[in-house]
Structure 1
Amino acid sequence: MKKKEESFGQIIRSIRQNRKMTQKMLAQDICSQSVLSRIENNEELPNVWVMYQICQRLGVTLDQVMMLHSEEINQSNQVFAQIESHFVHKRYQALLEKLQDKQIKHYLYLDTDMQMYYYYLGSCAYFIDQDYEGALVSLKKGLSYTYQQDKTNVSVMEIRLLSCMGRVYSDLQQLADARLNLEKSYDSMQALPPERLTTTLTKVYYNYAVFLKEQGELCRSLKIIEEGIALAREKNSFYFLEELFEIKAQVLTFLKEEQAANKSFQLYQAVVDIRQSAKMV
């Protein structure tokens, strides 16, 4: 059955919604929100420069947009939702099996799809095999699809990639590169509007806090930890919350704040108990 032809505006709207971006966020410094609305509703055809800027912010090329259909985007979204679920729940072996499935190649339509694929592949290399060099190769490849050093509108996935690269560099004792990537991920996250902050970004706080603790920057580490815990609570999420409470207890112990450290350890244990209970249900 022949697929229904879709316009530039319809495809852009589908990708924008998938990226959890509002029209205001996408249109900023490119065109007015009303113009973008008309483009998405097929009431106005943008010039080539506007089309290029919109695609760049979404992390896609003009050619990819012209070849895509909403049905394909929806199928890809469903596959990556399953993959993300494995990742968030730390089911890394199941995640790797999904990535190694030959059918996965049929869902990698966009540069951002390839970016996610290599992010998860690098994560598997790190957590399953402790192959830090291999993990770094995959993470770098993922980042290369959309990221440039002078980029101002950094995506959530790019922030996650930068953070994980920083963590791997730290494990490899390449501390200058570790700090550069962790600071870039943190600063880029701080620049995001509140509506684009997701639960997965709590891991960015954790990675940065661990590095700062290891470098003896305890007060700075504690500040980052508190920000991560605040985000997790705001999003009603347990993702990396137990790790944040655990490292908070460690930092407070180093700072000789024993009472506060004990409280943080108790909160860590409470989150662990809740997560284990949830698995048994």
Structure 2
Amino acid sequence: MGFMNIERFVLTRKKMGFSQQELAAGICTQATLSRLENNGQIPTMKILIQLCRRLQLTLDELFPKVGVPESQLNQKMDRAEFNFVISEYQAAQKIVDSINEQDAANDEQHWRFLYLRGYLATLLDKPITDALFDFNQILMAAEHAPLIYKLLAHTGCGMAYARHQQIDKADFYFSKVLDQIYQCPTQSTKDVWRVLSIVYNCGDFYGAYKKNYLISDELLHYAISICSDNHVTYYLAKIQYQLALNAIAQAKEPAIVLAHIEDSRAFSRINGNHIMLTQLAELQKKLYPETVLNPETLF
């Protein structure tokens, strides 16, 4: 989603005589609306559409297509990053493949492109050199790049090495992330997505690869608190899934494992994450076949 004309949104609300509380009534909390108007934190599309309908606005009026290359590039990367967040990696890759790296009009766009391409190379099991090449370009510009991109690059390097079973090298990069992740601000929705990506992948590494469930669980619960504070649900399915795997590895009670599975399934349904729903069904069938629901009810 591109840049939103928040000023127009606020002016329309005031012109129609709505207070924040009146506009939000029955749609969202006043705090959610306040974060939109004051901090630019765009809520879910469902909430935004309902607010716009009450104000008799269309999304096109709030997200103008100005037609310049930089705006078009940002819109493409917005779609790619959103697909990445909801685990639609193939869809994100198609968008990234359609982008010409030379079209990046500034450093921030270039760093963003490199981080997305590097993560997708890692998650889609492309050669590790492809991913590391992208991440190293960000790290070489560390003095100029914002902290979030530096941490994304370190996390990406750790993920790449972990997926190639080079755990010591992966640990080197994830250790760097742990020292600084709590310093990252979450001022916009994209900040939240990126910090959650970092914290989740750190939690995944320390649970799945290092078997350090104390650190893994702590990181995953920190990710849950970020989701709660910022009203973001997209990562909660993956977080709860990893907590279920951690609980299994620690031989916790089946009820605890099933609670994490059910929480993950609930958030997967909310966000239409069919990939995660399939993984959950397979995990539950493997562990507790007597508890599995009718497959037709999973989607």
> In structure 1, what is the Cα distance between the partners aligned to 2:221 and 2:82?
25
Most deviating of 162-171 and 117-126: 117-126
Aligned residue in 2 for 1:140: 136
1:139 CA displacement? 2.1
Aligned residue in 2 for 1:86: 83
- 2:259 maps to a residue whose letter is K
Structure 2 residue corresponding to 1:195, chosen from 181, 187, 212: 187
Query: Identity rate of aligned residues, in percent?
Result: 17
Aligned residue in 1 for 2:74: 77
- Counterparts of 1:264-275 in structure 2, within 5 Å, are 264-275=260-271
Aligned residue in 1 for 2:200: 206
Deviations along 1:148-172, whole A, 9 cap, x unmatched? 5xx9x85222222211211111122
> In structure 1, what is the Cα distance between the partners aligned to 2:133 and 2:101?
20
Deviations along 1:111-165, whole A, 9 cap, x unmatched? 2222222222222322334433322222222332x215xx9x8522222221121
- 1:228 maps to a residue whose letter is A
Structure 1 unaligned residues grouped into runs of 5+: 1-19, 22-70
> In structure 1, what is the Cα distance between the partners aligned to 2:248 and 2:125?
32
Structure 1 residue corresponding to 2:238, chosen from 243, 251, 264: 243
- 1:131 maps to a residue whose letter is P
> In structure 2, what is the Cα distance between the partners aligned to 1:129 and 1:218?
26
> In structure 2, what is the Cα distance between the partners aligned to 1:100 and 1:190?
33
Structure 2 unaligned residues grouped into runs of 5+: 1-38, 41-67, 276-298
Structure 1 residue corresponding to 2:102, chosen from 84, 102, 105: 105
1:102 CA displacement? 6.0
Deviations along 1:48-78, whole A, 9 cap, x unmatched? xxxxxxxxxxxxxxxxxxxxxxx77655533
> In structure 2, what is the Cα distance between the partners aligned to 1:102 and 1:204?
24
Say whether residues 1:160 and 2:159 are aligned partners: no
- 1:91 maps to a residue whose letter is E
1:248 CA displacement? 0.6
How many residue pairs align between the two structures? Answer: 207
Gap change, CA 1:276 and 1:80, over 3 Å in 2: closer
Most deviating of 259-268 and 244-253: 259-268
- 2:84 maps to a residue whose letter is F
Gap change, CA 1:116 and 1:143, over 3 Å in 2: farther
Say whether residues 1:224 and 2:224 are aligned partners: no
> In structure 1, what is the Cα distance between the partners aligned to 2:161 and 2:260?
28
Gap change, CA 1:248 and 1:94, over 3 Å in 2: closer
1:103 CA displacement? 5.3
TM-score, length basis structure 2 = 0.59
Deviations along 1:64-121, whole A, 9 cap, x unmatched? xxxxxxx776555334323323322333333333333365633x12222222222222
Gap change, CA 1:94 and 1:222, over 3 Å in 2: closer
CA contact (8 A) 2:184 2:195 kept: no
